[in-house]
Structure 1
Amino acid sequence: MYRQRWRAPKGSQSYVELASTSAGIPDFRSSGGLYNSKLPDLPPGMKADELFDTPEPKKTAKFKASGRFLAALRIFTKSVEPTAAHKLIAKLFDRGVLSRCITQNIDGIQTRDRKDMSCVVLELHGTNARLLCNKCNKPPNLNENTLDKNLQQYGEARCTDCRRNTWENRLRSLSPGYLIPDIVFNQDSREHELAGMSLDQMQEVDGQADILLVVGTSLATPGAAALVRSLARRVHQHGGGVLYVSGAPPSGSGWSRYIDMRLEMDIEEWANDMLSRLNEGQGSTERSCAKVSDILTRDGMGELTSW
């Protein structure tokens, strides 16, 4: 199926969902993922998936275990190099053909060294790379490495802004807030906004794409699955197509109504192939992309979008 030719209209866009498991960062729901792992140093009776429950400082042991784990994950992520998939998304952005990258990852790798991409990268589950006070909602004014080491050891850290304001205003009865990762915890929801657009507005724009690329996700998360279905319907209404690239079939049934073509292969192998074709210097991005997968062959290809 990888070598099939798929004719599509001009003005092609693609959405790429980017996974980081190939970078050595475990996923959540697979058989070897975090939720199914026996992690050390958890309080008695606490399961791995509870590390992502809404933080409750009063539940001291659970709160500190989550803080230590997420700090350790943050420290590890800083040492991880971007994968071929990350580099592919960045290259498409640099060529001016990437209008959106929607990701379920919380590692922040895609924008870690590319802050200029923040305007097109929507992090559905937030990011563990950023800490915010749970009271004043401000980021910490502290050295990140020192803060993470302290969090990894003690499991909690107070907001210095809150502490300073408390003393300056003699509000000794008010305790400073806690620094919490800016992720969407299990019991939480979030109104997504990017570049001044709501999620509904983004779907209106992104649904006009000619190609929706869904890459490296099992679609096991209800919210992400619903978003893909919604975007796929919109893309189909505009005469576009949906390509799913992953090492395994998507979770659940009924995807044949939404996915036009499924490519089952290693994500890094696919991304490296894309990059090598784009780097061959054969002229335009349009011609290179068409040669890469043989499914994007067309008379002309306009802007690409990433999901």
Structure 2
Amino acid sequence: MGNFNLDFSSDSELSSVPPSPTLAARSSPEPAERYPTPSSQEGAEPAEGSARQARPKRRRNPLPKERTTQYLDLSKSLYEQNDEHNLLVQTLRHQKDIVVIAGAGISTAAGIPDFRSTDGLFKSLQKKHNLKASGKLLFDAAVYQDDALTAPFHEMVRSLSEEVANIKPTAFHQMLARLGIESRLKRLYTQNIDGIETSMGPLATEIPLNVKGSWPITIQLHGSIEKMVCQKCRYLDNFKPDMFKQADPPACTECTDNDNARQIVGQRSHGIGRMRPRIVLYNEHNPDEEAITSVMNADIKSRPRVLIVAGTSLKIPGVRRLVKSLCTMIRSRKDGVTMFINNEPPSGKEFDSCFDLIIKGSCDEVAHQVNLKSWESKDTTPCVYESSPEPIPRNFNSTDISVVVTPKKRPRADTGLATPSSHDEKPTKKPATKATNIKIENPASNGRSIQDIIKKEKAAAHKPTSKFITKPAPNPRPKKAATTAASKKRGTPAAPVNKIASFGRVTKTSQAAGKLSTKADGKPMQPVPAGASRNNGPLPKTEQPEKADKLNPESLPQPVASS
């Protein structure tokens, strides 16, 4: 057995006698943690267990926040677009892992025209070389199949190379170089062939690209005129404009040396290749296609934070797919931002939900508002910028100022007839105007009112009617009842004329016979069947001959024989 050091002193808990259950219940209540109900005493502090239970649980929002698109117009007042301007400046000053997809629009400020604008290369080359179609033919792979297109193509490439040699980088190029120095620019995909980006140290590239890893910052999607390549042996050399003054492509120097060496040894010739600018034309294979695909897939998997699409109209299918893929991935992040910078908005409904901010204006104006350090500065420490930057004022010309004159509001004129109000509501009185003072008569208001007609019918119903009942004529117009001579002598009023709809055929004889009719033997009048002879017959004899003698027989209606 092991040695156990047990202390049986009076202070030990083991030596004390356990209390009885009744005393334990009275003297020492159970701890408050077992009773989750609140204390009955006012002002009592809750126990630790109840306090933990009372803490509200944090609710997680499973649905992502809805993304909207904001618009920033650099030609308008930036003080009225403070939120959009702040998003632009703060993103380019502080965010990391930035991917830029650039087009020809970032080089227009340097004097190099773009392709598809009204003053672009497609229009200018068509006029210069009298081409039947657009100048796009000079950027097609068919230029080496037609001698009439090879000479203009060599002239265009040679003049472009000479212009680029004397051009300085624009403000947007310098901003990209500064982002590269600060290690915040992850990748630059450029569609330009001028090579201005790669002439700057922080944006240097590699030609050709390596398929497996260690890629440079700048990826040239369409090559550049800085290099020329042999179509046969793939020999790469710096571009020399003097070799492209003629229509025929120059011979490859590497192939020439190898062919001369083989002839000296006595081997057969393998042929001599032709040199061409290392730019990707329409309808031809890109030599760096496999490496560019590897770079794109790697950048999408790395989940960058910011995407900036600048100076491009997004007409190339491969660039469109890359933009949509990056926008979908970046907008899924909480801190991701996507921007589009160009003088015209992106075309196509597929880009409606791709960008958080669409900026209308030049790329150099964006760099002017961001106002980063110079890329030539040796200071690599991150700059501390203002938390809420103010827009930098621009020098406006007199043509930028426009005066807006608001037209005066004309007084409202009430024209037409006022509609009657519903129920018995009294219409509100309007101030008298020239239009309301003009009284326009309503043709439907001519004639007697409905109230007068109702009163006359009620009064006629209580008075005794004449012995003779008049039958109304089929004429729809109302006529006054003619008073007979007998009624004049007797002083009795004539019966009122009631309108009764006639359903039978109306003739002239029926109109004459139906003017006055009487009741015979107290029987009601019966309709005459169709085709039967119509005869009113003699008048019945009156029961009071004395009163009948007083009547004038000429005033009584005479029987009319029906035809």
- TM-score band by shorter chain is 0.7 to 0.9
Structure 1 136/56 Cα, relative in aligned 2: closer, same or farther at 3 Å?
A: farther
**How do 1:57-206 residues align onto structure 2 when only pairs under 5 Å count?**
57-114=144-201, 117-118=204-205, 119-140=216-237, 144=239, 147-154=240-247, 156-170=249-263, 174-190=270-286, 191-193=289-291, 197-205=294-302
Given the alignment of the two structures, is residue 217 of structure 1 paired with residue 217 of structure 2, yes or no? Answer: no
Structure 1 211/116 Cα, relative in aligned 2: closer, same or farther at 3 Å?
A: closer
Q: Tell me, which stretches of 5 or more residues in structure 2 are unaligned?
A: 1-71, 73-80, 206-215, 392-563
Amino acid at match of 1:67: H
Equivalent in the alignment of 1:259: 355
| Residue 11 of structure 1, CA deviation | 6.4
C-alpha distance in structure 1 between counterparts of 2:274 and 2:203, whole Å:
29
3-state SS in 2 of match to 1:200: helix
| Residue 54 of structure 1, CA deviation | 1.4
Equivalent in the alignment of 2:97: 13
3-state SS in 2 of match to 1:273: helix
TM-superposition CA deviations, 1:124-148 (whole Å, max 9, x none): 111122111111111237xx5xx30
TM-score (norm 2): 0.46
3-state SS in 2 of match to 1:32: coil
Conserved? CA contact 2:180–2:202, under 8 Å? no
Q: Which moved more, 1:57-66 or 1:119-128?
A: 57-66
| Residue 13 of structure 1, CA deviation | 2.6
Given the alignment of the two structures, is residue 3 of structure 1 paired with residue 101 of structure 2, yes or no? Answer: no
Amino acid at match of 1:31: T
| Residue 174 of structure 1, CA deviation | 4.1
C-alpha distance in structure 2 between counterparts of 1:63 and 1:127, whole Å:
18
Structure 1 23/92 Cα, relative in aligned 2: closer, same or farther at 3 Å?
A: same
3-state SS in 2 of match to 1:101: strand
| Residue 263 of structure 1, CA deviation | 1.6
| Residue 151 of structure 1, CA deviation | 0.9
Amino acid at match of 1:167: N
Conserved? CA contact 1:132–1:138, under 8 Å? yes
Equivalent in the alignment of 2:123: 36
C-alpha distance in structure 2 between counterparts of 1:227 and 1:290, whole Å:
33
C-alpha distance in structure 2 between counterparts of 1:293 and 1:226, whole Å:
36
Query: Radius of gyration: which is bigger?
Result: 2
TM-superposition CA deviations, 1:1-38 (whole Å, max 9, x none): 45315598x96432223321221111112222112224
TM-score (norm 1): 0.80
C-alpha distance in structure 2 between counterparts of 1:292 and 1:265, whole Å:
19
Conserved? CA contact 1:36–1:48, under 8 Å? yes
Equivalent in the alignment of 1:300: none
Q: Which moved more, 1:223-232 or 1:170-179?
A: 170-179
Conserved? CA contact 2:126–2:132, under 8 Å? no
Equivalent in the alignment of 1:53: 140
C-alpha distance in structure 1 between counterparts of 2:121 and 2:155, whole Å:
15
More helix by percentage: 1
Conserved? CA contact 1:64–1:156, under 8 Å? no
C-alpha distance in structure 1 between counterparts of 2:344 and 2:133, whole Å:
30
Structure 1 293/165 Cα, relative in aligned 2: closer, same or farther at 3 Å?
A: farther
Structure 1 152/252 Cα, relative in aligned 2: closer, same or farther at 3 Å?
A: farther
